[in-house]
Each structure stands twice: as C-alpha cells, then as structure tokens.
Structure 1
Amino acid sequence: MVSLGYPEERFEDVLEERRCNSDLLFSARRFAPPTYKHRCPRSPAALRRAVLDSPRLQQAIREMAGEDGDTEALRQEAQSILREMGHNQGMTVVRTFAFMLSRIFKALFRHVRVNEEGVQRVQKVVQECPIVLLPSHRSYIDFLLMSFLCYSYDLPLPVIAAGMDFQGMRLVGEMLQASGAFYMRRSFSNNPFYWAVFSEYVQAIVRNGDAPLEFFLEGTRSRSNKSLSPKLGLLSIVMEPLLRAQVFDALLVPVSISYERILEENLYARELVGVPKPKESTSGLLKAHRILQNDYGSVFVYFHPPMSLKSFISGRLDITPFSMTPRHMALRLSDTLRVLVHHLAHSVVLRQQHGMVVTPWSLLTTLLLQAPSDHLFPTSCNSEGGVHLPDLLHDVRCLRTVITKIGAMQDWPDAQSHEAVVLSTLAMNSSLVTLTKEGRVLLNVDKVDRPKCRDDILNRACTVLTCAAYRNHILHLFVRPAFVAMAQRHAGSVEDGPTFSHFCFLVQLFSEEFIFEPGSERKDYEEGLSLLQRCSSLLYPLDSQHHPSTITTNFSVFLGQIFQPFCCSYQMVCNYLLTLEHGSMQKESQLLASLQEFALQQLLEGRSTELEILAINVYKNAVASLSRLGALRRERRKDGVWFLTTSQLHHVADAVASLKPPSQLPAKL
C-alpha cells in the first residue's frame, strides 16, 4: 500500500495472523489490557447504581417530582431507563464474539489493514487519560470491527453508544449489550429526564475511565459514503467533566475506516431512492448469511494521533465559571460553548476524512460517472456504449497522479500493472459493471432503449447511486479546488474579490453536503486555489478524436463535472419550490415525497438525464441549506416539521441556477 500525506506508517493486515492460527485459541487467549491509572474497578451493575445515586440525578428527580411529587416513581423510572440502556460487558460474550468475528471477517475481507503506529499511540496514553474513540460511520459493522481490533491489539474494550434499533433483535441485542454496547434513543431532546439519566451515565464512564467510550460523531451511518455533518449532543456531554474540572484531560481519537466495498451498498441505494429501511431483526441477520459468499476486498483503519480536549479548549474558553457550578446542577450549553463544540466536531470529522484511503474502485467510479448517463447503460440498438477500457486506463493513471499531488493515502498494488488492477477491480464489482467482449465498461442493468416507466428509472438510479457512493468517498479531496474553479467560472475571472465571494456562497449552499471548518473560508479558499494551480499543471491535451466518454484535459472542468450531480439536484429542488405559491407550507415528509415525484417526472419526460437527482438525502440537505439561506422558513409543530417559502426564494434560486455545467465537450485528463 502507498502511504502519502502522512509520515510513512506501516499498515499491518490483522487477518494475516488469523488465517494462520486457531480462532479458538485467539478467543481464549489471555486478555489483560492496560487501564486508566485513576480508574476504580467496578461492575456494570455498580456503574448503574452510581448513576442512580449521583447528586445530579437525585436533583433531577426532585425537580421533576416537585414539592408533592412521587420521587420513588421517578427513581423506578430511572432504574428502568438504566436497565434498558446500560451495558453488561462480560468476557464470556466478548470471547464468543472474538471467535465469530474472526471467522466472519476472514470470509468477508481479503485484508483488514491497520496503522500500527496509531494503535501504539493509543496504547501509550490509555493509562494517562480517559479515551474517547470517534470512528467514521459507513457500515453496521464499524463498531464490531473496532471492538475486534481492540481485542486483537490488547487495548481496553470500548463501551459503545448504539441506537435502539439493535435492542429489538432477539438474543443479538443482549449479546451486543454484553459485549459493551449501551443503547440510546434516537431523539430525546424533548425528554429532560431521559437526558439527565443518559448524560450522567456517559459522564460517569468518562470520569472514572471505566473503559474507552466510543460513539459515532455523525450520529448515523452515511448512506452516501460522504462524511455527514456532526451531531453535537454526545460530544458536549463528554466535554462536561473537563469543564467541571472532574478530569485532568480527556483524549479524543478520530478513526478513519475505509471500505473497498460496503456490505450494505445495495440497501443504501434503495434507501436513497425512498425504499424504507428494513427493520433490524435476528431473522434478517440470519438471512444475510449470503453476503459471506461475496468478496468485499479490503478494509483500512487509520487511528489518528489523540487530540487533547484540554489543549483544544485552552485559550478558547475560560472554564473557571463551569468548574464553580455546583455538581448537582446541569450545565447549560451557552452560545460560546456551542460554537466551541461545533468547531471541535468539525475538526474531528476533517481528521477522519484526512485518514481515508483512496481505493482503485473509488477512482474507477469517479471516472465512469463522468460519461453521459445514456452512454453507460446497455441498449439493444447501441453497441458503442460504455467507456473504452484503454481510455479508462489512461484516465486512471492521470487521476492517480492528481491524487498523489493532493497527498492522499492510496491503496494500489505497486507490483501489478494498471491494467491488472483495473481488471481485478472490475471483476470484484461485477454486480455493478460489465466488461464487454469489445472492451467497453458498462453499468449492469436490463437492456432498455429508453426508460419509460418508474421502475426502469429507479433500477438505473440504484445502480448509479451505488457507484456514486464510491465516488463520494473521495469528494473531500476535490471540494475546495472545485469550488474555487466554479467560483472563477461564475465570476468570469480569477480576481480574488468576486471569486472569493462566490466561493463563500458555495460553501454556505453545500454546507450540509461537505465538511468545512466554520470560519475558515479564507484558508479553504487559499488551499483550494493552490491545489487547483498545482494539479492543473499536471494535465496535458491528447487527440480530440477520443471517445466522448473520456474526461476533459482541463482540471477545473473535470472538477465541475464531478460536482454537477449536486448542482443539478439543488437546481431541481429550487425549480419545484418555485412552482408553489408564495408563502405556501408543506410538511417535511410531504415535501420530500413531492420533490422525488417532481424529479421522476423530469427524468421520464427527458428534461433531465441526471439520475442522482432522485437521492432523497440530497433533498434533505438542500432544504436545510435553503432554510439557512432564508429561502425557506422552518417551523416545528406538534405534528412535525413544516417549511414555508419566503420572498428570498427567487433570489437564492437565481444564484443556484447560475451553477451551469462547465462544458459539454468531453476530452481527456
């Protein structure tokens, strides 16, 4: 594996030893990891009792009960919440999981590669401070993989914040709790008592350093394979013991997990076009055994250097007022503290992105999706469709050069030729792509000369969205130079003033799609401009007679084409909103359904060929962004969230409409 952008770090294949030795002996081996030096050992039951008897929870019970209320009933409710929520970590189930996961991962993956230096850094500090593990979240198996790695490397097993979905799985839910999972409800901001119990439980773990705490900052799995905007609730809870001077420091460890193939790739695509997510169940898990017969390539796990929470806060916030607050009183999240948590969360997600590994399939999907969509699908009358393999090989070489210049980590077998790697990658993803006898790469769908019904469109969209997920995996590398290029094209010049102004508009508009550190627009602009200049110099023109599925020599045009699906989706959302009467209101669920129906009609009538406009997650992001820009007004009511169009809609829609495609004349990288 080529490691770029970081000091050279050796990636070890954890499965190599597992393939040579007994899984039974692995699960039964002595496990004595280092622990936090100030930790007072206690059982999960003792932890729950400590939470129940804590001054903060006792105060919450008194406040909820009032003068004449029944405190005993509330205490019973707190006990019930803790039983529902709390982990019961025990070594018997942990060892069972170690045995099972070793066998499962060997069946699923060719390699699970981990940066050893990152693990060693965690091993060195785990005794000094409470540890918080913050992995990226692209798959259900993320937390299982993290626990498996901690067991493999003799790190303390984490306790993991998991969604309530898993609790309803008979036997599996209990096993996950016994391996360290504690369950949290999806939304409890309107339930102050549950919030008090949950936050005290989490903080009790941090204060005592019972075990490393693990949670997903993005809140849920990313169906699009892009980083999601971070949720701030759990991170603010974790910060409180430090603000109250109850711990000397706490260390945050961002972890980047990159999958060559995602287990849920088909499920995600169907969810993105509106097919409801199947409910988690034990029977569903047993039926999923078929995935063990598939090849999911490699997984790459990068442990970043620990971030000191104390150092991050120092100079940004005076913690004295917080440390003087009585321990039984809950801290209120002030505007200053909210901004600080917001900055910290985005800083962690940006680190996660920086540790993502670029795979061959990510490069291939990025290039394939540059071709016109009607060129990627087989038809009975078009034998010249698809992307010609020699053109694809050329573009892969050029794109690899660009990725190297950017400084990203790449997984590319140096001992193999580009053609061998590309052919192997296409074979591994044969459920999505086909290489014809004529040497052309096509997407796998039934032959239809022109989609004429809803099902034809949705089937094609699922295939495109599955491929787009792997392209999305590397979009963070290009978003800054792309926005600079788009801003220059909009301004009609490279002058700093108008270009920077439009760059800031793009950052605002797409702030739900892509992660930017708040208040760092100038830094991001300069970084994007530098990358645009450096990478543009790498590209050179070739014969213009090449097949039109190849991409342009102009790097800025190439960047514009990568992000065109997002521009088209936001334009479609604005076009639909403009059909509504001024001041009209729609409930969020109704609005999203109407947007997808509008998009389907555009595709069926031939007014658009961009299948990615069917992705519901982009509608949600666009609506949130338009609300922030003042084009919509968001109102929360008893029956849900409603959106109201405003007088600003036309102004914002005009700005979005100006995001035109960079070129209709494809050439080559």
Structure 2
Amino acid sequence: MRQMFASRLAILNAHKSLTNADTVRTEAESFFDILEERRRGSDIGYALRTYTAQPYRGATPTSTCALNRMVLESQYLSYIIQEVAAESEEPREVILEEATGILDEMAQNLQLHSIRLLGFVMNKVFQSVFRSIYVNEEGLTRLQQALQEHPVILMPNHRSYMDFLVLSYIMFTYDLSLPVIAAGIRKYPHIFVALMGMKLFGEMFRRAGAFFIRRGIGSDKLYWAVLSEYVRTIVRTGYAPLEFFVEGLRSRTLKSLSPKLGMMQMVLEPFFKGEVFDITLVPISISYDRVLEESLLVRELLGVPKPKETTGGLLKARTVLQEDYGCMHVCFGTPLSVRDLMKERVIHVQYNLIPRDLPVKPNKETQEFVSGLAHTVVRLQEKNVVLSPWNLMAVVLLQNLRGIDLDLLTHRTLWLRNLVSRFGAHLNWPKHVSDSEVMSSSMTLHHSVVHCEKGRVYLVEEVGPGPVSQEEGVFRLAAAVLMCASYRNPAIHVFTRPAMVAVAMTTAVNNRMDDIIRHFNFLVELFSNEFVFVPGQSVQDFEEGCSLLQLAGVIVRSDEEMHVTEEGRETIVFLRAILQPFIESYQVVFRYLCEESSETFREKNFVPNVRRFIMKLLIAGEVQSYECLSSDVQKNVLTALLRMTAVTKTKVEEQNEFTVNTAAVKRTWTFLNGVLTPQISLEARL
C-alpha cells in the first residue's frame, strides 16, 4: 500500500512540472489537480481497480452486523434500556426492540462495491461540473500516516452536499481507509426528509458509509444512548475513520457556524475513559469557486421553503450538472493529537471514578475542553480555506450595491488582494494571467450573480412577468445581495478581528486603549454566534487584530493609546464597512424587540414577524442593509440576547417561548451604537 500511495503522489508530482496551470500554491501548501489523471483514464477502470487500504493497526476486523450486535449487547445500552423501561413502565423487551429499530434506522452498511459504483458516478459528475479538484499533497501524506496509528476523526467544514462525496472519492482514489459519515435527517411522523428520504440514493449513501442521525431529538434518552454507543463503538474498535461536520449543519451563508458539541463529546469519550490510547482529529477545509446550491441557499434565508429532497427531484437537477462550477480546493490540515492537547488536564479523573459501562455526565472542565477544541477545529478550517478572486470581488461589490465601474472594481479588488495577503490568507490568484482576464473570467463563472453593462458591473436581480410590488422588488434585490454575500462570507474570517478593532476604535473615547479593549470584548461577546471565537481567548483575538493592522501599516499603538495612520484611514473605513451589515442587522432586531414585539412571544413567530418589520423599514428607506432579511442573522441576534440574559426562554405547551427584558436590550443597543461604553472586563469574557 505504501508503494502504491507513493506512486500515486509521484504521478501528481510529475503533473506539477508540466504546466503552471496544474499547480496552485499558497504560502504553506502545494495543491494538485486530482481530476487531471482521471480525465486521461477510464471511468470503469478507475472504479474497478484494486483497492488496498491499510487500516488502523490497532483495529479489530469487524463486520457491520457484528458492530451493530456489539452496540445492542453493550453494558452501557443495557443499563439505559433498564432505566427507560423503569421510567416508562414498559417491559424491557419492548424498549430493547425500540432500540433495535433505532439502530436499524441509523446504521451504515459500508460496502466496497457500493463505493465503486459511487466512485464511477462521481468520477463523471466531478469531471462534468468542476474544472479541477485541488488537494494538498502534504495533507494526504500526513493523513495516510495518521490513519495507521490511532482512530481518526475527519472534521470537514460543511458548505455543500458535495462535501462528503468528494472526501470519500479522495479516500478511495488514494487507497485510504474509507470513512463512515454522520449524516443528518429530520424526523417527522412516518416521513424522512433529506438524504435518507431519497429511496435509491439514501440506500446507496448508507452502503457508502453514511449513518443517519435524526435532528431535533431533544431529550430522547434512548435515542441518545443508541447513538452515543454506536459512535463510541466505531471509535473504540477502530472500525473505520469517522467523519462528521462539527458545525452540525450545512452553512446556508457559506460562513463558518459555531460548532455543535454533542458529536464531539461522543467521539472523545473513548479517550476520556481510557479505552483508546489517543484519538487524532483532522480539520479539513473545502473551498468552492461556486456551490451547486447557491440559489437554493438564498431562498431558504429569505423564508422560501426548502423543497423536499427526492430521487425524482435529484434526477431533474441534471440541468445543474451542465453548469460550470469552477474549481474546488480540499486542504487536509495538520492532525491534532487529543492526548497532546490534554496534557496538564485532569479530565480522566472524573471518568476513572465511574465504571466505563455506566453513563457519565461531563463536568464543567470537560465541557470547556470539548467546546474549546471544537471551536479550535473550526478556526483551523477557516485558516486553511483557499480564497478565489471572486471572493474578494464580492466584498467590493457589496459595498457598491448601485453598481461600480469595472475599472474601479478591478482597482479595489487588487488593493484588497494585497491586504488579504498581508493578513495571511491563502489566495488562489491565477499566475501569468492579466488582471482584466481574471476579473472577466470570475464574472463569467458567476453570471448568475453579476453582469457587466457598458463598463459597469451590477448585481443580477431575478426578473419575472408583470408589474412588481414594492415588497417583491425588495425581495428580489435582497436575494441578489444575499447571493453575493454568500461569496463574501468565505473570506469574512480574514477581516473579523481587524474589523472589530476598527469598529472599537471608532466608538472608544480619545483612542484610549482600555476603552478600545472594552468595546472589542463587547463585540466579541455580542457576535460570538455570528463569527467563530475560541472561548476564553478574546485577549488573543484582540492582539491578533491589532498585530494584523500594525503589519499592514494601518495603526500605531502604545500601552495607553492606539491611533490610525494617515495611510491607514482607507483601510479602517473599508473594515468598518465589512461589519456594517451585521451591526445594522443586530440594531434593527433590537429595535423590533423594543418597539414592536410583545414582551413574550413564541419562537415560531419570531422570524416571520421580524422579516415583515424589516421589509417595511427597507421600503421606507429607514434601513440600508438588505442582509437584515437573512433568517440566519435574525436567529443569531436572538441567541446572543439569550446568552447575555437580555432575553429568557421557557417551554410552554411543547413550544419555546421568549420573554424580553426591554431595558437590557436597549442597553445592549446603546453599547452597539457607541453611545455608552460597555462595562465589561478587560479580560476575556467568553
């Protein structure tokens, strides 16, 4: 296997020397087009070739049926079944049968012949829709080594339904152990939605390693027990690498989401309990020039229901596969040893005091470790994202919604290219191609978002028959803005910390450092669901933002004060404009809660009512940012206020009900407006 892996990488190295077009370089890694070899070979030959993956050396060969049997016969699940039977006053056999049904619904059935079929199909699909799929060679080498040493958890970001398909495709191509993949489903009475509901494809994905998890399972004790024992058994036995999306959901905004911690806790527990020596986490960053679901994502954000995924609907989507989606980059990050990260911590003590087969509720220190590690993984995903020229163009376009001259767009994009390079971003800017050609090519690829008319570039708005009402006009422009914003968002992490420093400097008094830090910490606390911050590291975040601004020559600072340089004023204005749509979105929701909302409201009514309120303000010209209409940002505001105790949540008749502390919301609103200085510690609050 080692020789075969080495020979495949040797082929990629040979391709590298042929032409500059085959190689994309960032400061840290070299990427190679894995489709190049596929295009010269036979699809059927690729699917049927010899596959010789070398598994984790500590793994015990286990069949799917044996794995499921181990779960059902485990002492842990037996203990929970006994508890549930006692609580529900049902016979133990009835609860065991229910647990068996849950596992049957959930479990994967990984089979090599299904992977071969999927590989054959994906080979054709990927070659049809993508110009290239670039993978970092060093990352593959590191992954190959890690897979043999300890149980491996693959942790990609989640931007498209293509994500898990391309990872399995890469693993199969390079003779790496095929992963089992956590896939979400929504459970309604007798109805499955999402991948599992697509009969033909759902079964194919199951046989390709997908195991299906219901969403919204709440406090279903038995379901949680079956799921956690299933995940722990996969990790403990080394059955296969386990892949899951730490963000939990596919990001509809293409911006990183705050991590969900349930699955993270499950995969780490075998290490906490001493059942495995170590666990290796591999952050994976997947970057798209253009995502297949772009228009669907935007309509979801504006409240248009997501269509039910069916096999027929998927087959009708063949027209989508005739489009050009540019390039994809897959960056396998440096593997993280949980054992190394746990040094000087005593989390094991809690687990050593209780038999391994009994459930353990993680204590505060364990929860903080899991949360910090999950946030760190997302930050590593962000740092390894590869940006395209279009991502930078989208940033500029969103600050010029009435259109911008192509020459000025080019000038501003090139200025921004220099700034993101100073900020340390990975940028795929084509070499030996004129700047005008780069701009033209990007606009052609994204013809659904922008068009150029008489030397001026505009966002593309949907056109329909008949007269357009004011509301419909706002909706169409909002859709265009959110579509463009979805391509700005992959780059937003590059600017977040410097931009927050820029905003804090604007609202602070007399450039005093302590005031700037207070405002910065307030912004971190307020926006910690909007952007990803590692808990407890706001001091480091502030230092990072300041250091980047200093490196770019934007600020000078002392221990007491911070000032903008003359040449840095343009950058400060630009960075404040980056955050302005988010600031205005939060302000308008604060206004709704203070002026329009009843003191108590149901969760299901919140987004529709806020959307109607914002629509009126946009029509009246009282609000400028169309991004305020995004349901994601509206929900993030509510989550932030809950965390800051300006809103409280209770359960009434099986529905979430919220109570607004109007005075607290107004106080937060004034802090955001810069009218008052937030009384927040200079130290990290998160």
Structure 2 length normalisation: TM-score? 0.89
**What amino acid is aligned across from residue 441 of structure 2 in structure 1?**
S
How far apart, CA to CA, are the structure 2 residues paired with 1:463 and 1:447? 11
The Cα shift of 1:580 comes to 4.1
Q: 2:61 aligns with which of 30, 41, 66?
A: 41
The Cα shift of 1:281 comes to 1.0
The Cα shift of 1:317 comes to 3.0
How far apart, CA to CA, are the structure 2 residues paired with 1:636 and 1:153? 50
How far apart, CA to CA, are the structure 2 residues paired with 1:4 and 1:117? 13
| Residue of structure 2 in register with 1:142 after alignment | 163
Q: 2:668 aligns with which of 647, 652, 663?
A: 652
Q: 2:503 aligns with which of 472, 486, 502?
A: 486
Q: 2:421 aligns with which of 391, 397, 404?
A: 404
How far apart, CA to CA, are the structure 1 residues paired with 2:652 and 2:379? 34
How far apart, CA to CA, are the structure 2 residues paired with 1:5 and 1:506? 31
Q: 2:437 aligns with which of 416, 420, 423?
A: 420
Matched, 1:162 2:178: no
Name the SS for the 1:513 alignment partner: coil
Write out per-residue CA displacement over residues 635-662 of structure 1, whole angstroms, 9 at most, x where no aligned residue. 23333212111131221121223399xx
Q: 5 Å matches for 1:349-498? A: 349-371=378-400, 373=401, 375=402, 386-436=403-453, 438-445=454-461, 452-498=469-515
| Residue of structure 2 in register with 1:182 after alignment | 211
| Residue of structure 2 in register with 1:123 after alignment | 144
Q: 2:629 aligns with which of 593, 609, 614?
A: 614
CA 1:328 to 1:572, structure 2 compared with 1: closer, same or farther past 3 Å? same
Matched, 1:247 2:276: yes
Name the SS for the 1:99 alignment partner: helix
How far apart, CA to CA, are the structure 1 residues paired with 2:96 and 2:477? 54
Contact 1:536 1:554 in 2 (8 A): no
**What amino acid is aligned across from residue 615 of structure 2 in structure 1?**
L
Q: 1:266 aligns with which of 277, 295, 301?
A: 295
Q: 5 Å matches for 1:565-580? A: 565-580=581-596
Write out per-residue CA displacement over residues 357-415 of structure 1, whole angstroms, 9 at most, x where no aligned residue. 110110111011111x3x1xxxxxxxxxx211111111111111111111111111111
Contact 2:283 2:333 in 1 (8 A): yes
Contact 2:347 2:365 in 1 (8 A): no
Q: 1:89 aligns with which of 110, 131, 135?
A: 110
How far apart, CA to CA, are the structure 2 residues paired with 1:2 and 1:531? 25
| Residue of structure 2 in register with 1:59 after alignment | 79
The Cα shift of 1:552 comes to 9.8
The Cα shift of 1:323 comes to 3.0
**What amino acid is aligned across from residue 50 of structure 1 in structure 2?**
M
Matched, 1:296 2:325: yes
How far apart, CA to CA, are the structure 1 residues paired with 2:482 and 2:250? 16
CA 1:272 to 1:76, structure 2 compared with 1: closer, same or farther past 3 Å? same
CA 1:451 to 1:520, structure 2 compared with 1: closer, same or farther past 3 Å? farther
Root mean square deviation, CA, Å: 1.9
**What amino acid is aligned across from residue 517 of structure 2 in structure 1?**
F
Contact 1:552 1:558 in 2 (8 A): no
**What amino acid is aligned across from residue 574 of structure 1 in structure 2?**
F
Contact 1:227 1:349 in 2 (8 A): yes
| Residue of structure 2 in register with 1:562 after alignment | 578
| Residue of structure 1 in register with 2:44 after alignment | 24
| Residue of structure 1 in register with 2:10 after alignment | none
How far apart, CA to CA, are the structure 1 residues paired with 2:624 and 2:418? 31
How far apart, CA to CA, are the structure 1 residues paired with 2:502 and 2:202? 49
Moved more, 491-500 or 232-241: 491-500
How far apart, CA to CA, are the structure 1 residues paired with 2:213 and 2:120? 27
Q: 5 Å matches for 1:90-105? A: 90-105=111-126
Contact 2:461 2:479 in 1 (8 A): no
How far apart, CA to CA, are the structure 2 residues paired with 1:308 and 1:92? 33
Contact 1:4 1:404 in 2 (8 A): no
Q: 1:503 aligns with which of 520, 529, 533?
A: 520
Structure 1 runs not aligned, ≥5 long:
376-385, 539-550, 661-669
The Cα shift of 1:318 comes to 3.5
How far apart, CA to CA, are the structure 2 residues paired with 1:57 and 1:505? 44
**What amino acid is aligned across from residue 18 of structure 1 in structure 2?**
R
How far apart, CA to CA, are the structure 2 residues paired with 1:160 and 1:318? 28
How far apart, CA to CA, are the structure 1 residues paired with 2:568 and 2:199? 54
Contact 1:55 1:327 in 2 (8 A): no
The Cα shift of 1:447 comes to 8.1
**What amino acid is aligned across from residue 288 of structure 1 in structure 2?**
A
| Residue of structure 1 in register with 2:608 after alignment | 593
The Cα shift of 1:630 comes to 2.4
Moved more, 510-519 or 631-640: 631-640
| Residue of structure 2 in register with 1:74 after alignment | 95
| Residue of structure 1 in register with 2:617 after alignment | 602
How far apart, CA to CA, are the structure 2 residues paired with 1:202 and 1:142? 21
**What amino acid is aligned across from residue 593 of structure 1 in structure 2?**
P
Contact 2:553 2:568 in 1 (8 A): no
Write out per-residue CA displacement over residues 516-566 of structure 1, whole angstroms, 9 at most, x where no aligned residue. 11111111111101112222459xxxxxxxxxxxx9961011001111110
Q: 5 Å matches for 1:282-321? A: 282-321=311-350
**What amino acid is aligned across from residue 655 of structure 1 in structure 2?**
F
CA 1:302 to 1:555, structure 2 compared with 1: closer, same or farther past 3 Å? same
Name the SS for the 1:474 alignment partner: helix
How far apart, CA to CA, are the structure 1 residues paired with 2:499 and 2:231? 41
**What amino acid is aligned across from residue 420 of structure 1 in structure 2?**
E
Matched, 1:533 2:553: no
Name the SS for the 2:640 alignment partner: helix
Q: 2:647 aligns with which of 632, 638, 646?
A: 632
Name the count of aligned residue pairs.
631
The Cα shift of 1:69 comes to 4.5
How far apart, CA to CA, are the structure 2 residues paired with 1:434 and 1:472? 20
Matched, 1:202 2:231: yes
Write out per-residue CA displacement over residues 75-94 of structure 1, whole angstroms, 9 at most, x where no aligned residue. 11111111111011111111
The Cα shift of 1:603 comes to 1.0
Contact 1:485 1:559 in 2 (8 A): yes
The Cα shift of 1:4 comes to 3.9
The Cα shift of 1:113 comes to 0.2
How far apart, CA to CA, are the structure 2 residues paired with 1:592 and 1:36? 47
Where relative contact order (Cα < 8 A, 6+ residues apart) is larger, the structure is 1
Contact 1:260 1:359 in 2 (8 A): yes
Contact 1:584 1:645 in 2 (8 A): yes
How far apart, CA to CA, are the structure 1 residues paired with 2:665 and 2:477? 32
| Residue of structure 1 in register with 2:683 after alignment | none
How far apart, CA to CA, are the structure 2 residues paired with 1:125 and 1:281? 37
Contact 2:618 2:624 in 1 (8 A): yes
Identity, % of aligned positions: 40
| Residue of structure 2 in register with 1:383 after alignment | none
Structure 1 length normalisation: TM-score? 0.92
Q: 2:362 aligns with which of 333, 349, 353?
A: 333
How far apart, CA to CA, are the structure 2 residues paired with 1:109 and 1:206? 34
The Cα shift of 1:62 comes to 1.7
